[in-house]
Amino acid sequence: MFEGIITPIVTPFNRDEEQSVNYEAAGQLIGHLIKKGVNGIFILGSNGEFHVIDEYEKVAFAKEVIRMVDHRVPVFVGTGACSTRETIRLSQKMEAAGADALSVITPYFIKPAEEELYEHFKEVANSVKIPIVLYNIPKSTGCNIPKEAVARLAEIDNIQAIKDSSGDVDNLKGYVEAGRNKNLSVLVGSDSKISAGYRLGATGAIAGTSNVITDVLVKLNKALKTNDTETAKVLQGDIDVLRDVLKLGTVPSIIKRAVELADIAPVGPARKPVKETTPEVDEKIKEVLKHYQLI
């Protein structure tokens, strides 16, 4: 389950007053990604705007995505929240909805101590039976999970993976070492570090850019798995062409607009307060898509 390219899909919204969830677009995006060969669908992550989606919307969206995917690939669902109580409540609802695994981000805004992090993840894991993926993204949460805590958490049966979006290769290496000889897989969450992560022992990547340049990521995974280093080097570098324009807007506005402009699915804008892209930025996105022959 924890291998290959897992796409953290954007959550499609309509361009209506409520910016309501667009289920039809979600189906188009999911169908496209599975056809292209991704190994999993991950919803309600950072690119999925979990932080601006109400709980009832999350549950309804998860149920529909699970129905759409129909066991073709595993469905990972983000359930993290600032409080342990809220995380447990949502995790249990997503388990009941049929999720294959849960992704649990560290509490944010506050900065929990190591023991508090350990107890938080332990209680969440003990509240469900399905696998848990720890989610480390310190640039957004202000909190990095220490490798020592990861080693302890790996002793819990259903804590089976960690996604590291720190962008720090040494940090990722520490997680690989913490999970060695235990049932813990390491997934790369920084698209620029996929090749480096695989060399260290990571088994897959949760790659936001695979929403758009799916072929590049799927081919990169194959090249890395078959030790085709020259091809992998070219493909890894090619990701940077898209990554260079992502800084032109607030996450995930650029990636969502790229999905639309590539005519993959009408996923709409990011939810407010994030603004839509400007015509000038759209032109820059189009140039990038031309590079990948997507338009």
The H or E element spanning position 117 is helix 114-126
Task: Bin 250: left if φ > 0, else alpha if -120 < ψ < 50, else beta.
Answer: beta
Residue keyed to tokens 């996604």: 163
Contact yes or no for 188/172 (Cβ under 8 A): yes
Question: How far apart are alpha carbons 59 and 97 in whole angstroms?
Answer: 8
Active site members? 135, 163
Please, which residues have CB within 8 angstroms of residue 245's CB and are 6 or more apart in sequence? 254, 258, 281, 284, 285, 288
Q: Cα dihedral angle (230, 1, 33, 221), rounded to 10 degrees?
A: 0
Total Cβ atoms within 10 A of residue 1 = 18
The answer to whether the beta carbons of residues 76 and 41 sit under 8 Å apart is: yes
Whether the CB-CB separation of 196 and 171 falls below 8 Å is answered with no
CB 6 within 8 A of CB 203: no
DSSP 180-239: TTTT-EEEE--GGGHHHHHHHT--EEE-GGGGT-HHHHHHHHHHHHTT-HHHHHHHHHHH
**What six digits make up the tokens of 37?**
């060969």
